[in-house]
């Protein structure tokens, strides 16, 4: 907005999803409501959600394994006002309706996000009215300082030194270009007192015309922060710890520009999630050298499939996220059929799938003997067979370009997955 010379006003609602301006990838649409108190901008109420479709190359905004740049990945919004001083920007809303599939669901979800932001703004102002602005700000600062202090205390317990790990994703194994396959993550994690440096130098270059790059903000940085936080601040031991800016202050990230972990515009990034999990897994095994009893073995990644079709000239889209599994843990087996590491989705029940889409689930089960034997085995992923019950259905899948089969998940103290 500063580049355009625009500013915030009461009643505004801003839509943003640009991967190169702080968003994760284009389907993740953020809505922001500025919060004013007695004429002063005192904060923002925000909501981010993965939208079902943004008019990309294929339905469902996934499986776009051949996107050559970010323009093939759907509509881009760079801090656009969808409400201007309380009035809807009808032109923008019409543009969205004209360019996305499953319009009612997408626009309805966006409106729900806006309602969420407005409720958040209202409740923040209720706190300010009750306790006073300075008290609320002091409480905010205290929570940030508290989170930073707790994390620094745990970092300081780790012996100073550098801990290294390498990880891989397959990329495009059928490509003749060696720069598109067997892509590498390099992690050197250095502890100095209560500070930590995560250096990703040596990671493979970005793939300019394929969407397996990871935007630094929202993907690479989150892979670092969430992994370190999860390992060092287990909620079972520490209880609830506020997730805020205090969690990032002790950690410095070095991510060379032009690599998979910090791509340059206009590189496509829509399939950033599975490489992000693989990066988080690599970071986990670097840190695990210092705290081996606090990590799990290598993860089984996710798999995405989008089903779509037309009924009475109206698009329907269903996105199925096939869960992965976690590796075995110290004292416990790995978890079966779960989202891993990033962990922001859950199992979708058969009843929900079949009651809302022209689909029939004919099989949903675990494979037999899929995990390597050991005292604490790794988890297993599910098998799900789905059939269209109406003609004209279309399926797009993320395939295996952004996961790993050539390199199996890493073992810890035991055997490797198979």
Write out the E strands in 312-400.
Answer: 314-322, 359-365, 383-388, 394-397
Longest dimension (CA), the chain: 65
Query: What is the model's pLDDT at position 272?
Result: 86
Question: Who's near 389: CB < 8 A, 6+ residues apart?
Answer: 358, 359, 360
The model scores a pTM over 0.85: yes
Among 232, 214, 48, 247, which Cα is nearest to 156's? 232
Question: Who's near 77: CB < 8 A, 6+ residues apart?
Answer: 15, 16, 17, 18, 29
- 142: helix, strand or coil: helix
- Taking the chain (418 residues) in runs of 10, the rounded mean pLDDT of each run is 86 95 90 97 96 88 77 94 98 97 95 98 98 98 98 98 94 86 95 98 95 92 94 91 95 98 94 87 94 84 83 88 80 82 78 93 87 79 89 65 59 53
**What residues does each domain of the chain span?**
13-131, 159-295, 296-418
Query: What is the model's pLDDT at position 412?
Result: 63
Among 398, 392, 397, which Cα is nearest to 315's? 392
Structure tokens at 272: 């950033």
Structure tokens at 51: 């939208």
Within 13 Å of residue 243, how many CA atoms lie on the same side as its CB? 9
Query: What is the model's pLDDT at position 387?
Result: 92
Query: What is the model's pLDDT at position 67?
Result: 86
Query: What is the model's pLDDT at position 382?
Result: 86
pLDDT, tens digit (0-9, with 9 covering 90-100), for 4-50: 888 999 999 999 999 998 888 899 999 999 999 999 999 999 999 99
d(CA 238, CA 357): 42
d(CA 48, CA 118): 13
Query: What is the model's pLDDT at position 259?
Result: 98
Query: What is the model's pLDDT at position 246?
Result: 96
Phi, psi of 322 (to 5 degrees): -80, 120
Query: What is the model's pLDDT at position 408?
Result: 64
d(CA 65, CA 174): 13
């Amino acid at each position: 907005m500063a580049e355009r010379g625009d500013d915030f006003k009461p009643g505004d609602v801003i839509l943003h999803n640009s991967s190169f301006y702080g968003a994760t990838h284009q389907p993740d649409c953020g809505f922001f409501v500025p919060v004013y108190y007695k004429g002063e901008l005192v904060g923002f109420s925000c909501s981010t959600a993965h939208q079902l479709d943004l008019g990309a190359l294929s339905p469902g905004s996934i499986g776009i394994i051949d996107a050559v740049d970010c323009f093939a990945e759907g509509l881009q919004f760079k801090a656009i006002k969808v409400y201007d001083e309380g009035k809807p920007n009808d032109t923008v809303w019409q543009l969205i309706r004209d360019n996305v599939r499953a319009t009612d669901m997408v626009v309805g979800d966006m409106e729900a996000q806006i309602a969420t932001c407005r409720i958040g703004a209202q409740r923040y102002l209720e706190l300010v009215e009750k306790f006073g602005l300075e008290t609320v700000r002091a409480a905010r600062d205290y929570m940030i300082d508290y989170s930073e202090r707790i994390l620094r205390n745990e970092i300081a317990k780790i012996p100073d030194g550098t801990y290294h790990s390498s990880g891989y994703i397959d990329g495009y194994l059928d490509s003749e270009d060696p720069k598109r396959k067997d892509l590498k993550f390099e992690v050197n994690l250095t502890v100095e007192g209560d500070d930590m440096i995560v250096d990703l130098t040596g990671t493979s270059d970005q793939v300019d015309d394929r969407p397996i790059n990871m935007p630094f903000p929202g993907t690479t940085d989150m892979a670092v922060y969430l992994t370190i936080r999860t390992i060092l601040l287990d909620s079972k031991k520490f209880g609830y710890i506020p997730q805020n800016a205090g969690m990032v202050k002790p950690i410095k990230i070095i991510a060379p520009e032009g690599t998979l972990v910090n791509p340059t515009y206009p590189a496509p990034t829509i399939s950033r999630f599975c490489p992000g999990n693989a990066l988080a897994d690599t970071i986990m095994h670097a840190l695990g050298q210092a705290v081996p009893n606090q990590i799990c073995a290598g993860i089984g990644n996710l798999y995405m499939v989008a089903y779509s079709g037309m009924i009475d000239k109206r698009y329907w889209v269903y996105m199925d996220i096939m869960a992965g599994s976690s590796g075995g843990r110290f004292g416990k087996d790995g978890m079966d059929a779960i989202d891993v590491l990033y962990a922001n989705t859950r199992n979708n029940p058969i009843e929900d799938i079949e009651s809302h889409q022209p689909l029939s689930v004919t099989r949903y089960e675990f494979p037999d003997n899929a995990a390597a034997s050991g005292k604490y085995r790794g988890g297993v992923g599910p098998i799900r067979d789905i059939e269209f019950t109406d003609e004209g259905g279309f399926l797009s899948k993320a395939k295996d370009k952004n996961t790993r089969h050539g390199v199996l998940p890493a073992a810890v103290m035991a055997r490797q997955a198979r």
